[in-house]
Structure 1
Amino acid sequence: MLLVIDVGNTNTVIGIYDGDTLKHDWRIRTIRDSTADEFNVLANALFSDKNIDRKNIHKIIISSVVPSAVPILNAFCEKYMGLTPLWINPNSVKKLMPILYNNPNEVGADRIVNAVAAYDKYKTSLIIIDFGTATTFDVISEKGEYLGGAIVPGVMIASEALFQKASKLPRVEIFEAPEKIIGKDTIESIKSGIIYGNAAMVDGMVERMTKEMDTLPRILATGGLAPLISKISNTIEKVEQSLTLDGLRIIYNEIGNK
């Protein structure tokens, strides 16, 4: 079995693959100051809950945008799994996808993984929107080249800044969109602005990016708030929630056994 781990700024997503089948996956809070021993306790609990024998895990691949997590997870893999993980970086995937950034090393590992997974599945030009700590737009050519993208403050980060800086505005939970865009009270107005506003931003960015691409890309979304925003967006065609995990599996299958 293959253990895949994607460390984001807010959440860490973990998956177990048996061949090409995702058997189990978990989303946990990213802990920046834990130790390998503490991560092992957490992993034990997750594996035990699903009756997973870690002796059946023979391969590990990790992507991370949190530098402090690298030595922690590296130590966990070597000490408790007896395995050396494959770490994602632009150089490790350049044979699978040319990265046409001015400096390829600046592209986040998760963005590369998403791009590889999406192109492997759709084999066409794409715009991938990942609703994470930041909302990222990644643009892929018809030839499977990573062209670049855009980075926007994430929905929750922007919301938190609003609540902190506007002292009279109440903190609201963003679980569902109000029925109407024109709010009739403060809470409805905040929800409308955050949810419909982000959907409009997505549609505007997609429209402008599509004009620059001179093609008709497929528009995919992933990340925690992708299902909510996709219901309102006029451009998002499909939500692919396991995109990052699938990308890690694909990359390992292509380069991990070489």
Structure 2
Amino acid sequence: MLLAIDAGNTNIVFALCGEGEIRARWRIATEARRTADEYAVWLKQLLELEEIAFADVDAVIIGTVVPRALHNLSTLARRYFKVEPLVAGQGEAAWPMRLDVPEPETLGADRGLNVLAAHAGHEGDIVVVDFGTATTFDICDYTGAYKGGVIAPGINLSLDALTGKTAQLPKIAIEKPENDSVIGKTTQDQMLVGVYWGYVAMIEGLIERARKEIGRPVTVIGTGGLATLFPEGLFDAVEPDLTIRGLMLLHKEATKR
């Protein structure tokens, strides 16, 4: 059984995978100093709820954009699961697709994994929009080659900056406004309109510019926790587990080599 670990800037997702399916997934706040022993105590209880023992996990793959977390996650794999982990984009788990960018070594693991999974599930050129700490747009062509993308501030990051730098604006939770009006009546309504519909306009605008630049039909995939908040039709598909699927595919590819 495979344990796929997606370590992002805000959360780390542990997914238990078997026979090509995700059997269970758990999320914990990212803390680079959290030790392997702390992860093990937390995971042991969750695995027991699924009637899974440490010995049942025979492979671990890690995708991380937090370099400081890699050591402790790798130690977790070696000490408690008795396996040498694969690391996305490195060694045996090097990217199987062409990276058509001048600095391929700077590609974030989550972005490479998203493109890998998106190309495996869809034909043609693809734009993946991932709502994480940052909002990223990643483009791969019909051959699966990574062509580049866009990095923008994440929704919650923008909201935190807005409320943190203003004395009178309240903290609000990001959610879909009750109607389609872009004219807010209260301060909270106006903030929500600015963040929500502002992001919709940014996404629509960047996707439209990408379509024109690519010059071929494009499939747009939304992923990340906030992707489901946005209007139907903004994306051709919403796939919350895209990064984990990428880890599963990369593990399968690496073990064939």
Q: State the TM-score bracket (shorter-chain normalisation).
A: over 0.9
| TM-score between both structures, scaled by the size of structure 1 | 0.95
Report the equivalent of 1:183. Answer: 184
Where in structure 2 are the equivalents of 1:232-247 lying within 5 Å? 235-247=234-246
Report the equivalent of 2:112. Answer: 112
Distance in 2, matches of 1:166 and 1:53, equals 50
Distance in 1, matches of 2:112 and 2:56, equals 28
1:208 to 2:191 alignment: no
Give the stretch that moved more between structures: 4-13 or 29-38: 29-38
Aligned to 1:112, the other structure's residue is in SS state helix
Note the C-alpha offset of 1:55: 1.3
1:222 to 2:240 alignment: no
One-letter identity of the residue aligned with 2:74? N
1:249 to 2:248 alignment: yes
Distance in 2, matches of 1:80 and 1:177, equals 46
Report the equivalent of 1:192. Answer: 193
Note the C-alpha offset of 1:13: 1.2
Q: Deviations over 1:23-72 (max 9, x none)?
A: 11122211121111111111112212222222111111110000110110
Report the equivalent of 1:71. Answer: 71
Report the equivalent of 1:80. Answer: 80
Q: Indicate if the aligned counterparts of 1:206 and 1:235 stay in contact, CA closer than 8 A.
A: no
Aligned to 2:67, the other structure's residue is in SS state coil
Note the C-alpha offset of 1:144: 1.1
Report the equivalent of 1:103. Answer: 103
Pair 1:212–1:56, CA change in 2 (3 A): same
Distance in 2, matches of 1:31 and 1:239, equals 28
Distance in 2, matches of 1:121 and 1:75, equals 33
Task: Find runs of 4+ consecutive structure 1 residues off by over 4 angstroms.
Answer: none
Report the equivalent of 1:28. Answer: 28
Size of the aligned set, in residue pairs, is 255
Q: Indicate if the aligned counterparts of 2:175 and 2:196 stay in contact, CA closer than 8 A.
A: no
List gaps (5 residues or longer) in structure 2. none
Note the C-alpha offset of 1:257: 4.4
Report the equivalent of 1:134. Answer: 134
Pair 1:190–1:226, CA change in 2 (3 A): same
Give the stretch that moved more between structures: 49-58 or 67-76: 49-58
Aligned to 1:32, the other structure's residue is in SS state coil
List gaps (5 residues or longer) in structure 1. none
Note the C-alpha offset of 1:190: 0.6
Distance in 1, matches of 2:23 and 2:89, equals 25
Note the C-alpha offset of 1:181: 2.0
